[in-house]
Protein backbone atom coordinates (compact mmCIF):
# COMPACT_ATOMS: atom_id res chain seq x y z
CA UNK A 1 0.00 0.00 0.00
CA UNK A 2 1.20 3.54 -0.79
CA UNK A 3 1.86 5.09 2.60
CA UNK A 4 3.13 8.59 1.79
CA UNK A 5 2.02 11.10 4.40
CA UNK A 6 1.60 14.13 2.17
CA UNK A 7 -2.09 14.84 1.57
CA UNK A 8 -2.91 18.38 2.61
CA UNK A 9 -6.42 18.26 1.12
CA UNK A 10 -7.47 16.39 4.29
CA UNK A 11 -6.02 18.93 6.71
CA UNK A 12 -9.16 21.15 7.08
CA UNK A 13 -11.17 17.98 7.86
CA UNK A 14 -8.59 16.93 10.50
CA UNK A 15 -8.96 20.35 12.15
CA UNK A 16 -12.76 19.93 12.12
CA UNK A 17 -12.24 16.50 13.72
CA UNK A 18 -10.11 18.11 16.44
CA UNK A 19 -12.93 20.58 17.23
CA UNK A 20 -15.56 17.81 17.26
CA UNK A 21 -13.50 15.56 19.52
CA UNK A 22 -12.79 18.52 21.85
CA UNK A 23 -16.57 18.93 22.08
CA UNK A 24 -16.94 15.28 23.15
CA UNK A 25 -17.81 13.69 19.77
CA UNK A 26 -16.04 10.31 19.58
CA UNK A 27 -17.50 8.84 16.37
CA UNK A 28 -16.12 10.76 13.40
CA UNK A 29 -16.92 10.46 9.70
CA UNK A 30 -14.48 11.87 7.11
CA UNK A 31 -16.44 12.52 3.95
CA UNK A 32 -15.38 13.51 0.43
CA UNK A 33 -17.92 15.47 -1.61
CA UNK A 34 -16.82 16.97 -4.96
CA UNK A 35 -13.12 16.42 -4.05
CA UNK A 36 -13.45 18.34 -0.76
CA UNK A 37 -13.09 16.50 2.56
CA UNK A 38 -15.00 17.43 5.71
CA UNK A 39 -15.38 15.76 9.10
CA UNK A 40 -18.83 15.25 10.61
CA UNK A 41 -20.31 13.41 13.57
CA UNK A 42 -21.15 9.89 12.38
CA UNK A 43 -24.72 9.91 13.64
CA UNK A 44 -25.68 13.05 11.69
CA UNK A 45 -23.91 12.06 8.45
CA UNK A 46 -25.99 12.07 5.26
CA UNK A 47 -24.57 9.92 2.52
CA UNK A 48 -26.02 12.02 -0.36
CA UNK A 49 -23.25 13.31 -2.63
CA UNK A 50 -20.49 11.47 -0.77
CA UNK A 51 -17.86 9.89 -3.01
CA UNK A 52 -15.71 8.44 -0.22
CA UNK A 53 -16.30 8.00 3.53
CA UNK A 54 -13.95 6.92 6.32
CA UNK A 55 -15.30 6.28 9.81
CA UNK A 56 -12.91 6.83 12.68
CA UNK A 57 -14.78 5.55 15.69
CA UNK A 58 -14.27 4.21 19.19
CA UNK A 59 -13.23 0.52 19.17
CA UNK A 60 -16.57 -0.42 20.71
CA UNK A 61 -18.42 0.78 17.57
CA UNK A 62 -16.83 -1.22 14.72
CA UNK A 63 -19.53 -0.72 12.05
CA UNK A 64 -21.22 2.59 12.89
CA UNK A 65 -23.39 3.08 9.76
CA UNK A 66 -24.02 -0.15 7.83
CA UNK A 67 -26.24 1.84 5.44
CA UNK A 68 -23.30 4.00 4.35
CA UNK A 69 -20.91 1.05 4.21
CA UNK A 70 -23.38 -0.61 1.82
CA UNK A 71 -23.84 2.39 -0.50
CA UNK A 72 -20.62 4.41 -0.66
CA UNK A 73 -16.94 3.74 -1.19
CA UNK A 74 -16.27 3.49 2.53
CA UNK A 75 -13.81 2.28 5.17
CA UNK A 76 -13.87 1.98 8.94
CA UNK A 77 -10.83 2.40 11.12
CA UNK A 78 -10.87 -0.68 13.31
CA UNK A 79 -8.49 -1.78 16.05
CA UNK A 80 -6.25 -4.81 16.14
CA UNK A 81 -5.61 -6.74 19.33
CA UNK A 82 -2.26 -4.97 19.74
CA UNK A 83 -4.06 -1.58 19.76
CA UNK A 84 -2.90 -0.52 16.26
CA UNK A 85 -5.44 0.86 13.77
CA UNK A 86 -6.44 -1.15 10.72
CA UNK A 87 -9.15 -0.69 8.08
CA UNK A 88 -12.27 -2.60 7.16
CA UNK A 89 -13.36 -1.73 3.62
CA UNK A 90 -16.33 -1.95 1.35
CA UNK A 91 -15.53 -3.66 -1.94
CA UNK A 92 -13.92 -0.47 -3.29
CA UNK A 93 -11.42 0.87 -0.72
CA UNK A 94 -10.88 4.57 -0.11
CA UNK A 95 -7.68 6.15 -1.55
CA UNK A 96 -4.56 4.72 0.11
CA UNK A 97 -3.08 8.17 0.82
CA UNK A 98 -6.20 9.18 2.79
CA UNK A 99 -6.14 5.95 4.77
CA UNK A 100 -2.45 6.50 5.60
CA UNK A 101 -3.19 9.95 7.00
CA UNK A 102 -6.05 8.63 9.11
CA UNK A 103 -3.97 5.68 10.32
CA UNK A 104 -1.41 8.19 11.63
CA UNK A 105 -3.69 10.95 12.94
CA UNK A 106 -6.92 9.01 13.72
CA UNK A 107 -5.55 7.31 16.86
CA UNK A 108 -4.37 10.71 18.15
CA UNK A 109 -7.84 12.24 17.71
CA UNK A 110 -9.59 9.26 19.28
CA UNK A 111 -7.00 8.87 22.05
CA UNK A 112 -7.41 12.55 22.97
CA UNK A 113 -11.21 12.25 22.97
CA UNK A 114 -11.12 9.14 25.18
CA UNK A 115 -8.65 10.82 27.58
CA UNK A 116 -10.89 13.90 27.78
CA UNK A 117 -13.90 11.68 28.60
CA UNK A 118 -12.09 9.96 31.48
CA UNK A 119 -10.33 13.15 32.72
CA UNK A 120 -6.88 11.90 31.70
CA UNK A 121 -4.21 12.87 29.16
CA UNK A 122 -3.21 11.13 25.89
CA UNK A 123 0.57 11.43 25.45
CA UNK A 124 2.28 11.13 22.06
CA UNK A 125 6.07 11.11 22.17
CA UNK A 126 8.04 12.17 19.09
CA UNK A 127 11.67 11.69 18.21
CA UNK A 128 13.57 12.42 15.01
CA UNK A 129 16.63 10.22 14.84
CA UNK A 130 19.38 9.01 12.55
CA UNK A 131 19.65 5.42 11.31
CA UNK A 132 21.92 4.73 14.30
CA UNK A 133 19.45 6.15 16.81
CA UNK A 134 21.04 9.56 17.47
CA UNK A 135 18.99 12.70 18.10
CA UNK A 136 21.76 15.30 18.26
CA UNK A 137 25.48 15.72 17.61
CA UNK A 138 27.75 15.33 20.65
CA UNK A 139 28.16 19.12 20.82
CA UNK A 140 24.34 19.42 21.03
CA UNK A 141 24.20 22.17 18.40
CA UNK A 142 20.49 22.75 17.67
CA UNK A 143 19.75 21.26 14.24
CA UNK A 144 16.60 19.63 12.81
CA UNK A 145 17.59 16.09 11.80
CA UNK A 146 14.37 15.41 9.85
CA UNK A 147 13.24 16.69 6.47
CA UNK A 148 10.67 19.33 5.52
CA UNK A 149 7.83 16.79 5.53
CA UNK A 150 8.72 15.73 9.09
CA UNK A 151 8.65 19.37 10.22
CA UNK A 152 5.22 19.73 8.63
CA UNK A 153 4.09 16.56 10.39
CA UNK A 154 5.37 17.95 13.71
CA UNK A 155 3.40 21.16 13.14
CA UNK A 156 0.26 19.15 12.33
CA UNK A 157 0.70 17.20 15.56
CA UNK A 158 1.13 20.42 17.55
CA UNK A 159 -2.11 21.75 16.07
CA UNK A 160 -3.99 18.53 16.87
CA UNK A 161 -2.87 18.38 20.53
CA UNK A 162 -3.84 20.59 23.46
CA UNK A 163 -0.22 21.08 24.48
CA UNK A 164 3.34 20.51 23.37
CA UNK A 165 5.98 19.66 25.99
CA UNK A 166 9.79 19.50 26.13
CA UNK A 167 12.44 19.00 28.81
CA UNK A 168 14.43 21.91 30.24
CA UNK A 169 17.66 21.04 28.38
CA UNK A 170 15.86 21.17 25.02
CA UNK A 171 14.21 24.48 25.97
CA UNK A 172 17.56 25.98 27.00
CA UNK A 173 19.80 24.41 24.35
CA UNK A 174 17.58 24.62 21.26
CA UNK A 175 15.51 27.69 22.23
CA UNK A 176 12.55 26.35 20.17
CA UNK A 177 9.33 28.24 19.46
CA UNK A 178 7.11 25.13 19.47
CA UNK A 179 4.42 26.95 17.50
CA UNK A 180 2.30 25.90 14.51
CA UNK A 181 3.68 27.69 11.46
CA UNK A 182 3.84 25.24 8.54
CA UNK A 183 0.10 24.50 8.46
CA UNK A 184 -2.96 26.54 9.47
CA UNK A 185 -4.25 25.56 12.91
CA UNK A 186 -4.57 26.45 16.60
CA UNK A 187 -1.49 27.11 18.73
CA UNK A 188 -0.94 24.55 21.50
CA UNK A 189 -0.20 25.43 25.10
CA UNK A 190 3.60 25.18 25.60
CA UNK A 191 4.99 23.34 28.61
CA UNK A 192 8.55 22.85 29.86
CA UNK A 193 9.43 20.17 32.42
CA UNK A 194 12.05 21.40 34.83
CA UNK A 195 12.09 19.51 38.13
CA UNK A 196 15.18 21.36 39.41
CA UNK A 197 14.00 24.67 37.94
CA UNK A 198 17.00 25.11 35.59
CA UNK A 199 14.81 26.85 33.01
CA UNK A 200 13.69 29.39 35.63
CA UNK A 201 17.29 30.42 36.33
CA UNK A 202 18.18 31.50 32.80
CA UNK A 203 18.81 35.18 32.23
CA UNK A 204 18.00 34.78 28.51
CA UNK A 205 14.67 35.72 26.98
CA UNK A 206 13.78 32.29 25.57
CA UNK A 207 11.39 32.21 22.60
CA UNK A 208 9.04 30.06 24.70
CA UNK A 209 8.62 32.97 27.12
CA UNK A 210 7.35 35.28 24.34
CA UNK A 211 3.94 35.57 22.61
CA UNK A 212 1.46 33.60 24.70
CA UNK A 213 4.22 32.38 27.07
CA UNK A 214 4.59 28.92 28.56
CA UNK A 215 4.02 26.78 31.65
CA UNK A 216 6.98 25.42 33.61
CA UNK A 217 6.32 22.30 35.67
CA UNK A 218 8.69 22.32 38.62
CA UNK A 219 8.99 21.29 42.29
CA UNK A 220 7.27 23.34 44.99
CA UNK A 221 10.58 23.88 46.83
CA UNK A 222 12.32 25.49 43.81
CA UNK A 223 12.76 29.09 44.97
CA UNK A 224 13.36 30.88 41.64
CA UNK A 225 10.40 33.08 40.68
CA UNK A 226 8.83 32.66 37.25
CA UNK A 227 10.28 35.09 34.66
CA UNK A 228 7.90 37.29 32.64
CA UNK A 229 5.78 35.15 30.33
CA UNK A 230 6.06 32.00 32.47
CA UNK A 231 3.37 30.36 34.61
CA UNK A 232 4.66 27.90 37.23
CA UNK A 233 2.90 24.62 37.86
CA UNK A 234 4.27 23.45 41.21
CA UNK A 235 4.37 19.82 42.21
CA UNK A 236 5.14 18.72 45.72
CA UNK A 237 8.00 16.23 45.45
CA UNK A 238 11.16 15.95 47.54
CA UNK A 239 13.78 15.94 44.76
CA UNK A 240 14.66 15.51 41.09
CA UNK A 241 12.43 13.79 38.57
CA UNK A 242 8.71 14.31 38.94
CA UNK A 243 6.40 11.30 38.48
CA UNK A 244 4.73 11.54 35.04
CA UNK A 245 1.40 10.40 36.54
CA UNK A 246 1.40 13.40 38.90
CA UNK A 247 2.43 15.80 36.12
CA UNK A 248 -0.38 14.52 33.89
CA UNK A 249 -2.99 14.72 36.67
CA UNK A 250 -2.05 18.39 37.27
CA UNK A 251 -2.27 19.16 33.54
CA UNK A 252 -5.62 17.38 33.15
CA UNK A 253 -6.98 19.53 36.01
CA UNK A 254 -5.99 22.54 33.88
CA UNK A 255 -7.85 21.28 30.79
CA UNK A 256 -4.92 19.61 28.96
CA UNK A 257 -6.03 16.22 27.59
CA UNK A 258 -3.51 15.60 24.81
CA UNK A 259 0.22 16.29 24.77
CA UNK A 260 2.81 16.12 22.02
CA UNK A 261 6.04 15.33 23.89
CA UNK A 262 8.91 16.46 21.67
CA UNK A 263 11.92 15.32 23.73
CA UNK A 264 14.70 15.31 24.59
CA UNK A 265 15.99 11.89 25.50
CA UNK A 266 15.77 12.14 29.29
CA UNK A 267 12.23 13.53 29.20
CA UNK A 268 10.92 10.87 26.79
CA UNK A 269 12.71 8.21 28.83
CA UNK A 270 11.15 9.34 32.09
CA UNK A 271 7.69 8.93 30.51
CA UNK A 272 8.47 5.61 28.81
CA UNK A 273 9.85 4.11 32.02
CA UNK A 274 6.65 4.94 33.88
CA UNK A 275 4.33 3.61 31.10
CA UNK A 276 3.10 7.16 30.51
CA UNK A 277 3.46 7.18 26.69
CA UNK A 278 0.36 6.17 24.72
CA UNK A 279 2.01 6.44 21.32
CA UNK A 280 5.57 7.03 20.13
CA UNK A 281 6.28 8.53 16.71
CA UNK A 282 9.82 7.94 15.44
CA UNK A 283 11.04 9.73 12.33
CA UNK A 284 14.10 8.07 10.81
CA UNK A 285 16.43 10.19 8.70
CA UNK A 286 18.75 8.32 6.31
CA UNK A 287 22.02 9.39 7.93
CA UNK A 288 24.47 7.79 10.36
CA UNK A 289 26.21 9.98 12.93
CA UNK A 290 28.17 7.31 14.76
CA UNK A 291 28.37 9.51 17.85
CA UNK A 292 26.14 11.93 19.73
CA UNK A 293 23.07 11.77 21.91
CA UNK A 294 20.91 8.62 21.73
CA UNK A 295 17.10 8.74 21.50
CA UNK A 296 16.58 7.16 24.93
CA UNK A 297 18.54 7.10 28.14
CA UNK A 298 17.34 4.17 30.22
CA UNK A 299 18.77 2.00 32.98
CA UNK A 300 20.72 -1.04 31.77
CA UNK A 301 18.84 -4.32 31.39
CA UNK A 302 20.39 -7.79 31.11
CA UNK A 303 17.84 -9.52 28.85
CA UNK A 304 15.67 -8.62 25.85
CA UNK A 305 12.60 -9.69 27.82
CA UNK A 306 13.06 -6.57 29.95
CA UNK A 307 13.04 -4.22 26.92
CA UNK A 308 10.02 -2.00 26.22
CA UNK A 309 8.03 -3.60 23.40
CA UNK A 310 5.80 -1.95 20.80
CA UNK A 311 3.40 -2.72 17.99
CA UNK A 312 4.48 -0.73 14.95
CA UNK A 313 3.23 0.73 11.64
CA UNK A 314 5.02 2.93 9.13
CA UNK A 315 4.32 5.81 6.76
CA UNK A 316 6.74 7.71 4.56
CA UNK A 317 7.61 11.39 4.66
CA UNK A 318 9.22 12.40 1.35
CA UNK A 319 11.18 9.15 1.38
CA UNK A 320 12.07 9.17 5.10
CA UNK A 321 10.19 6.78 7.41
CA UNK A 322 7.74 7.67 10.17
CA UNK A 323 7.06 4.85 12.63
CA UNK A 324 3.94 4.92 14.82
CA UNK A 325 4.76 2.72 17.79
CA UNK A 326 2.29 1.66 20.42
CA UNK A 327 3.81 0.59 23.74
CA UNK A 328 2.28 -2.75 24.59
CA UNK A 329 1.62 -1.46 28.10
CA UNK A 330 -0.52 1.43 26.74
CA UNK A 331 -4.24 1.84 27.36
CA UNK A 332 -6.59 1.23 24.39
CA UNK A 333 -8.37 4.41 23.12
N1 LIG B 1 16.03 14.93 17.42
C2 LIG B 1 15.00 15.14 18.22
O3 LIG B 1 13.89 14.66 17.99
C4 LIG B 1 15.20 15.98 19.46
C5 LIG B 1 14.07 16.47 20.13
C6 LIG B 1 14.24 17.23 21.28
C7 LIG B 1 15.54 17.48 21.74
N8 LIG B 1 16.62 17.00 21.06
C9 LIG B 1 17.97 17.21 21.57
O10 LIG B 1 18.06 16.58 22.83
C11 LIG B 1 18.99 17.26 23.66
C12 LIG B 1 18.38 17.47 25.04
O13 LIG B 1 17.95 16.22 25.55
P14 LIG B 1 18.30 15.77 27.04
O15 LIG B 1 17.94 14.35 27.20
O16 LIG B 1 19.70 16.17 27.35
O17 LIG B 1 17.41 16.71 27.94
P18 LIG B 1 15.83 17.02 27.97
O19 LIG B 1 15.07 15.75 28.02
O20 LIG B 1 15.48 18.00 26.91
O21 LIG B 1 15.72 17.80 29.35
C22 LIG B 1 16.06 17.15 30.55
C23 LIG B 1 15.62 18.03 31.70
O24 LIG B 1 14.18 18.14 31.67
C25 LIG B 1 13.66 18.08 32.98
N26 LIG B 1 12.88 16.85 33.12
C27 LIG B 1 12.74 15.83 32.24
N28 LIG B 1 11.88 14.89 32.70
C29 LIG B 1 11.49 15.32 33.90
C30 LIG B 1 10.63 14.80 34.89
N31 LIG B 1 9.99 13.62 34.75
N32 LIG B 1 10.44 15.51 36.03
C33 LIG B 1 11.08 16.69 36.19
N34 LIG B 1 11.90 17.25 35.31
C35 LIG B 1 12.10 16.57 34.17
C36 LIG B 1 14.86 18.13 33.90
O37 LIG B 1 15.12 19.52 34.11
P38 LIG B 1 15.82 20.11 35.43
O39 LIG B 1 17.29 19.89 35.21
O40 LIG B 1 15.44 21.54 35.51
O41 LIG B 1 15.29 19.29 36.56
C42 LIG B 1 15.96 17.48 33.06
O43 LIG B 1 17.27 17.85 33.45
C44 LIG B 1 19.35 18.54 22.93
O45 LIG B 1 20.63 18.38 22.34
C46 LIG B 1 18.30 18.65 21.84
O47 LIG B 1 18.78 19.29 20.68
C48 LIG B 1 16.46 16.25 19.92
Q: How far apart are CA 211 and CA 294, in angstroms?
A: 32
Q: Ligand 1: which residue has its CA nearest to atom 1?
A: 135
Contact in structure between 195 and 237 (CB atoms under 8 Å):
yes
Class of domain 119-327: alpha beta
Distance between CA atoms of 187 and 130, rounded to whole angstroms? 28
Of all protein residues, whose CA lies closest to atom 40 belonging to ligand 1? 194
Any atom of ligand 1 within 6 Å of the Cβ of 125: no
Q: What does the domain layout of the chain look like in residue ranges?
A: 8-95, 119-327
Secondary-structure breakdown of the chain: helix, strand, coil percentages, each rounded to the nearest 5: 30, 25, 45
Q: What is the pLDDT of residue 82?
A: 84
For residues 146 and 295, what is the distance between their CA atoms, to the nearest angstrom?
A: 14
Distance, first Cα to last Cα, the chain: 25
Please tell me if the CB atom of residue 160 comes closer than 6 angstroms to any atom of ligand 1: no
Q: Give yes or no for residue 266 CB within 6 A of ligand 1.
A: yes
Substitution site in 127, 170, 178 for ligand 1 pocket (most atoms within 8 Å of beta carbon): 170
Residue 127, ligand 1, Cβ within 6 A: yes
Cβ(121) – ligand 1 distance below 6 Å:
no
pLDDT tens for the 333 residues of the chain, in order? 444 555 678 999 999 999 999 988 888 999 999 889 999 998 888 888 888 899 888 776 666 677 777 777 888 887 888 888 888 777 677 888 888 889 999 999 999 999 999 999 999 999 999 999 999 999 998 888 989 999 999 999 999 999 999 999 999 999 999 999 999 999 999 999 999 999 999 989 999 999 889 999 999 999 999 999 899 999 998 776 899 999 999 999 999 999 999 999 999 999 999 999 999 999 999 999 999 999 999 999 999 988 999 999 999 988 899 999 999 876 555
pTM, to two decimals: 0.94
304: Cβ–Cβ under 8 A, 6 or more apart, which residues? Answer: none
**How far does residue 12's CA lie from ligand 1's centre (Å)?**
33
Distance from the alpha carbon of residue 167 to the mean position of ligand 1, in angstroms: 4
Q: What pLDDT sits at residue 262?
A: 98
pLDDT number for residue 2: 45
Residue 128 Cβ < 6 Å to ligand 1: yes
User: Does the CB atom of residue 194 touch ligand 1 within 6 A?
Assistant: yes
Instruction: Say yes or no: CB of residue 171 within 6 Å of ligand 1.
Output: no
Residue 41 near residue 56 (C-beta atoms within 8 A)? no
Amino acid sequence: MDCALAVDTLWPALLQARSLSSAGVRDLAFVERATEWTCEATESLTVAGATQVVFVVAPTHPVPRPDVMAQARASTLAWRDDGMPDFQHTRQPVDAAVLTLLRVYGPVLLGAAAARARGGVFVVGHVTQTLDGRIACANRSPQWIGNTADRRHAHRMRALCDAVMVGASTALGDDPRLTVRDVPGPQPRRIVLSGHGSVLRTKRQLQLFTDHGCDVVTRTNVTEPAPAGVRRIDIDAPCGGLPPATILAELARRGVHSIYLEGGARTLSSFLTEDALDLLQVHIAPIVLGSGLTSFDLPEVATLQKAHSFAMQHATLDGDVLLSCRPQSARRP
